[in-house]
């Protein structure tokens, strides 16, 4: 699990290959809206707002252009509200709190077994995830930072990689 300043480098390195970004979260539950908000802001990588049911979108990882999957979600890892963490599927543990029916560790294991697709999690520590709550300012700042990282990394791909990702559907 990577925390702190090294997260940016880990994310940018991860999405250098064509990456499917799956944004997970409920936009009606305050800070749980992390995944959908990131997907709405990024320019470059393929991104899907999965809402609070990412299991419905796992088949997209089997598309020919996908080399990696990045799940973006609000996860309770015991950090400061708005803190960002990156971990690969091998590092992902069941103990991360999630508001979704399927645990993220289970989803990553499925993707690896079914498609052989390397999967990672980019998580943001939420504060208030109550129904009707507003997204906190620190979480919005983390969302903007993540969107910037993903956009920059996608723009640094080698010629042909981005085109392949965008022309296959």
**pLDDT band of 163, cuts 50, 70, 90:** very low
Question: pLDDT at residue 52 above 80?
Answer: yes
Region 130-138: mean pLDDT is 96
User: 29: Cβ–Cβ under 8 A, 6 or more apart, which residues?
Assistant: 99, 129, 130, 131, 132, 133
- Map out the domains of the chain with their CATH numbers: 2-159 (3.40.50.1450)
20 backbone dihedrals φ, ψ, rounded to 5°? -90, 120
- What is the residue-averaged pLDDT of the chain? 84
**pLDDT band of 44, cuts 50, 70, 90:** low
> Helix 137-155 and helix 6-14: axis angle, to 10°?
40
Tell me: the pLDDT tens digits for 89-119? Answer: 877 755 454 544 457 888 888 888 899 989 9
pTM, two decimals, is: 0.86
């Amino acid at each position: 699990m990577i925390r702190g300043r090294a997260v940016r480098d880990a994310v940018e390195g991860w999405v250098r290959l064509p990456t499917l970004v799956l944004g997970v979260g409920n936009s009606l539950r305050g800070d749980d809206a992390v995944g959908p908000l990131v997907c709405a802001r990024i320019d470059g990588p393929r991104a899907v707002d999965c809402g609070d049911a990412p299991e419905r979108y796992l088949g997209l990882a089997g598309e020919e252009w996908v080399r990696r999957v990045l799940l973006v979600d609000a996860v309770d890892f015991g950090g400061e509200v708005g803190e960002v963490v990156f971990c690969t599927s091998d590092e992902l543990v069941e103990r991360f709190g999630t508001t979704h029916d399927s645990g993220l560790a289970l989803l990553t294991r499925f993707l690896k077994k079914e498609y052989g697709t390397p999967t990672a999690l980019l998580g943001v520590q939420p504060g208030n995830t109550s129904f009707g709550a507003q997204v906190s300012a620190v979480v919005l700042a983390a969302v903007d930072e993540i969107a910037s990282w993903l956009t920059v990394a996608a723009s640094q791909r080698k010629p042909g990689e981005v085109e392949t990702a965008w022309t296959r559907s």
